[in-house]
Structure 1
Amino acid sequence: MAEILFPALFLLLLLGVPVAFALAIAAFAALSLASSYPKIVIVKEMFSGIDSFPLLAVPFFILAAELMTGGAMTHILLRFAAQFVGHLRGGLGYANVMSSTMFAGISGSALADAAGPGAMMIRMMEKGGYPRAYAGALTAASSVVGPIIPPSIIMILYAMQDQRVSVVALFMAGLLPGLCIALAMLATNWWVCRARGYRGDEPRPPVAEMLRTTLHALPALFLIVLIIGGIRGGIFTPTEASVIAVFYALICGMFIYRSLRLRDLPAILLRAALTSTAVLLILAAARAFAWILIIESVPQSLAATIVDWNLSPILFLLAVNLLLLAFGLFLDPLPGVMILVPILAPIAFSLGIDPIHFAIVVIVNLTIGLTTPPVGSLLFVVASAVRLRPSELMREMPPFLVAHLAVLALLTFVPAVSTWLPRISGF
């Protein structure tokens, strides 16, 4: 069946079929043309792919991000970040990266990061004299930090595929790599702005105003502390944390900032439902796709082949990076985790690679794929949000891609960046 499965998938993707439908149709075609299994097994596996309690965290974190945006909390975080760096050369670019990093601690999604505070920041940068294409490319590149800093939807899914790691351990492991990505984006913005002469026209606000803005932002910032601290302290699980995030965002928007009204909720709920449905459809289809790979013994054959090569752990990680970078050109991270992790994680463990280290390398690598054509979802989200052609963004992306690859190399060759925090935290 594999000889039908993969050609069908790539053909459908080239035709522009959405990823979820491409995965499901390819699986159905392989099952229909090359096996005697009943067709209903595809439906059964798709249902099994989303019949999981931890997956409840996905729609709730998406809803929390929508409530944050609808309740003007993202605008408050933007003002908080801009007051410190807006007057510097490239200052609004720094504010863009800082706001993406802060929002990452709430949404767990790169696409929510780009569509929410990212779109607002692009407009602010354009008014400040930055080219719209550069502002869009910076937004797409810095939004990569969304799934790395906890909470993270991708990390929840990864832990479901590899029982050697827990969601909490991955959340702790993502903090330092996420900050490394943010620092790399800040450094790239500094280099580009210095080379092109982009200057900060924003005056530095008075100290009293900065204090007022900071105090105003504290309730929004506390959500990050609440989620990470509550999970780390064992007060609630990641799934429960997602529900708490929804109620906290609702309370902040309606009663603290008073910018969220009851009449806004139906539209917010609809946007969250549509996004959640798209994510869950991808997961369901990826489960059916992965099931065919398993019954065809593709993981076992690939594992045996790689073991026969007798690769060292470093060479294996380099090979995995090349594979995932190529994979990310065509598919989003969610199906990548569902399909590839059950194949690659056992091999990595057999070679003595720390499961947490390997998980972070895989997650960061697949997330970088969100910014690489031809299927880079972040490029299309940003382009549609600010009415740009994706090709204009792609021309501005090379410096940021180089920075991403530098961070990926750091994570590959220095496992402690990923494992130090979980280890001292007892994971």
Structure 2
Amino acid sequence: MSLSVMLVFLGAALIGMPLAFALGLGAVAGVLESGFPLNMLPTRMMNAVNAFPLMSIPFFVLAGELMLKAGIMERLIDLANAAIGRVRGGLGHVTVLAGMGLSTVSGAAVADASALGSTMLRPLERHYGRGFSAAVIAASANLGPIIPPSGAMIVYAYMAGSTVSVGGLFLSGVIPGLLLVLGMLTMCSVIAHARGLPLTGEAFSARRVLSELRRSFIVLMMPVVVIGGTVGGAFTATEGSAVAVVYALAVGFLVTRRLRLADLPEAIGATVVTTAVVGAMIAFASAVTYMLTIDLFPQKLAAWLKGITTDPLTFMALVAVVLVVVGCFLESNAAYIMLVPLLHPIAVDYGVDPLHFGFLFVFNLVIGMLTPPVGVVLFVVCGLARMPVGEIARHVWPFVAFLYGLLGACMLVPGLVLWLPRAAGF
């Protein structure tokens, strides 16, 4: 039964059906083949989405929408410009730093790609050409799910169960996220010098940096308050997401004064659409997962993997290869929902640290958002830049290669991922 369910779902997804519908089709196939009572299916689907931790998803999405409408992009860009100074390819560096700042607010690569693209694409293109500009924006947007808060990490922690803490998973992304930023800045410098890109920006001034820091301080404090409160135990991740919304409203109405009551319906509408898509996938996937569970598919998969290797590092390498392929064809949320309940228990059985495996899983699928043919971030940036996916893929591959290199480093050196969570008691 499990094979037919997987084939129906994967076949539907690969031929381009909406992911929620593909999951539903897989669930129906499993129900019809197993004889499972149809009247129990709505109950299982409702129970899957009726979970307190999942409330954090719409709140974080709404907080990101509100902060963007509050005009934080301008402040982040001004701060990044002041910090970079006048260097070759300086606008590329500014885009990376702006992406880092934006990632601490939105936690979603697609939202960051849209915000960065609409703000930075034209200035970048004017100085550096369309291909390099689009690639830098796409790579910078991918910082969103790695640097906390991260919507992807929330979904992973929920699907993995009690063995993974959202706060611990958030902290696991801090050091790799900073390494990503440093690596991308270095790559921008190397590419700029190799291609002879022009100098951009104003001369560095410590006074200007301090001025922009004071101006942006209240915005930069949002992740400190939300993540610090979550890690410190002041509130749960779900409560922290509600705090983020209140903080975003206060910043928009009282600090930047760019947020208007007329902006709220649009922000809420975008939040509803995003949450509905994720919720539908979780509901349908719960039925598919249940079909696989009653057929003992996880146990069969574990036995098959252990027949190949008993070494935890080799197991993680095999999973990484599988996720590379999955990331090329499936949207990341669908992959979390389908694969985490299957692979996470097996990783624990292999003795792999749950936080370590969780971060590697998320990081791997985040990279998949930059790889064709189903690289969601690539499609967003291509739409904004009005260029084909193949062209942007030619320019983005050095960043993808660096991302996979860092993924390998995090796999071989667990301390890069686990040191900060362990220091915080996770």
- Shorter chain as denominator, the TM-score bin is over 0.9
The equivalent of 2:18 in structure 1 is 18
More deviation in 39-48 or 255-264?
39-48
The equivalent of 1:102 in structure 2 is 101
User: In 2 relative to 1, CA 350–240 (structure 1 residues): closer, same or farther, beyond 3 Å?
Assistant: same
In 1: Cα distance, 2:13 partner to 2:231 partner: 40
Shift of 1:205: 6.2
Instruction: Please give the per-residue CA displacement for 1:256-309, whole angstroms capped at 9, x wherever unaligned.
Output: 111111112112221222222222222222222222221221111000112233
Instruction: Please give the per-residue CA displacement for 1:234-259, whole angstroms capped at 9, x wherever unaligned.
Output: 22211111111111111111111111
Secondary structure (helix, strand or coil) at the match of 2:51 reads: coil
Contact 2:100–2:181 (CA<8 Å) still a contact in 1?
yes
Contact 1:119–1:386 (CA<8 Å) still a contact in 2?
no
Contact 1:60–1:246 (CA<8 Å) still a contact in 2?
yes
Shift of 1:321: 0.5
> Which amino acid is 1:4 matched to?
S
Shift of 1:31: 2.3
Shift of 1:206: 5.1
After TM superposition, the score normalised by the length of structure 1 is 0.95
The equivalent of 1:290 in structure 2 is 289
The equivalent of 2:110 in structure 1 is 111
The equivalent of 2:236 in structure 1 is 237
After TM superposition, the score normalised by the length of structure 2 is 0.95
Contact 1:75–1:117 (CA<8 Å) still a contact in 2?
no
In 2: Cα distance, 1:310 partner to 1:14 partner: 30
Tell me whether 1:326 sits opposite 2:325 in the alignment.
Answer: yes
Tell me whether 1:360 sits opposite 2:355 in the alignment.
Answer: no
Shift of 1:397: 1.8
Instruction: Please give the per-residue CA displacement for 1:50-70, whole angstroms capped at 9, x wherever unaligned.
Output: 111011110010001111111
Shift of 1:42: 3.6
CA RMSD of aligned residues (A): 1.8
Matches for 1:19-418 after TM superposition, within 5 Å: 19-32=19-32, 34-127=33-126, 129-162=127-160, 163-204=162-203, 207-418=206-417
Secondary structure (helix, strand or coil) at the match of 1:371 reads: coil
The equivalent of 2:419 in structure 1 is 420
Contact 2:60–2:241 (CA<8 Å) still a contact in 1?
yes
More deviation in 195-204 or 239-248?
195-204
Shift of 1:74: 1.9
In 1: Cα distance, 2:135 partner to 2:39 partner: 44
Paired residues in the alignment total 425
Shift of 1:6: 2.5
More deviation in 116-125 or 148-157?
116-125
In 2: Cα distance, 1:319 partner to 1:246 partner: 40
In 1: Cα distance, 2:40 partner to 2:189 partner: 53
User: In 2 relative to 1, CA 48–266 (structure 1 residues): closer, same or farther, beyond 3 Å?
Assistant: same
In 2: Cα distance, 1:290 partner to 1:199 partner: 53
User: In 2 relative to 1, CA 86–122 (structure 1 residues): closer, same or farther, beyond 3 Å?
Assistant: farther
Secondary structure (helix, strand or coil) at the match of 1:400 reads: helix
In 1: Cα distance, 2:179 partner to 2:207 partner: 32
Contact 1:184–1:407 (CA<8 Å) still a contact in 2?
no
Secondary structure (helix, strand or coil) at the match of 2:329 reads: coil
In 1: Cα distance, 2:280 partner to 2:230 partner: 27
Shift of 1:207: 4.8
Secondary structure (helix, strand or coil) at the match of 1:145 reads: coil
State percent identity of aligned pairs: 37
Contact 2:356–2:417 (CA<8 Å) still a contact in 1?
yes
